[in-house]
Amino acid sequence: METFKLDRPIKEICLECRKDTSYGSDNHVNRIPCGREEEDGWLCEECQLVECDKCCDFVIDYECVDGGIDDGKLLCRDCFDDIGTDVIIMFIEDIIEKYEVYFGFVKGSVKPEYDDDFLELIDLLRGVTYVESRGAGWAVQQGFEK
């Protein structure tokens, strides 16, 4: 346990979580300098993480979308790269709703669980289009049905 002593303050502190970011500490990697009104310090990697508005991954490297339907959203690099393409992020329910009947399943027969039916559905989807695991969902290239 580390105790906080006023006479020996931690110098290289993360201004968000108050953890030590000095060399050799767990929080040194990827820290960035941060200056605030009251004090100067750092931001550790964890406190810089941003939740991607599409895939809900926590990422350090993000882009802010300027214009279009996603205007103002913060996206991870992967999702940002997909903008302007016809790749969208889909979650398990989206995939079932959209492709269950398309691939010949009886509507309502595929449950939103990682069971055999769903894995078969994802396999079939992979067979006809680009599918990549992304965060809690999948990046799926659209437009193959046409």
Cα 110 to Cα 42: distance, rounded to the nearest angstrom = 49
CB of 62 to Zn ion, least distance (A): 8
2 versus 116: smaller Cβ distance to Zn ion: 2
What is the C-alpha R_g of the chain?
Answer: 22
How is residue 111 annotated by DSSP? -
Residue 92 binds Zn ion, judged by CB under 5 A = no
Cα 105 to Cα 142: distance, rounded to the nearest angstrom = 20
49 versus 101: smaller Cβ distance to Zn ion: 49
Cα 43 to Cα 33: distance, rounded to the nearest angstrom = 6
Contacts of 34 (CB under 8 A, 6+ apart): 15, 40, 41, 42, 43
CB of 1 to Zn ion, least distance (A): 18
CB of 12 to Zn ion, least distance (A): 11
Binding residues for Zn ion restricted to 18-77, rule: CB under 5 A: 44, 47, 52, 54-55, 76
CB of 69 to Zn ion, least distance (A): 16
Q: For binding to Zn ion (CB under 5 A), which residues are involved?
A: 14, 16-17, 44, 47, 52, 54-55, 76, 79
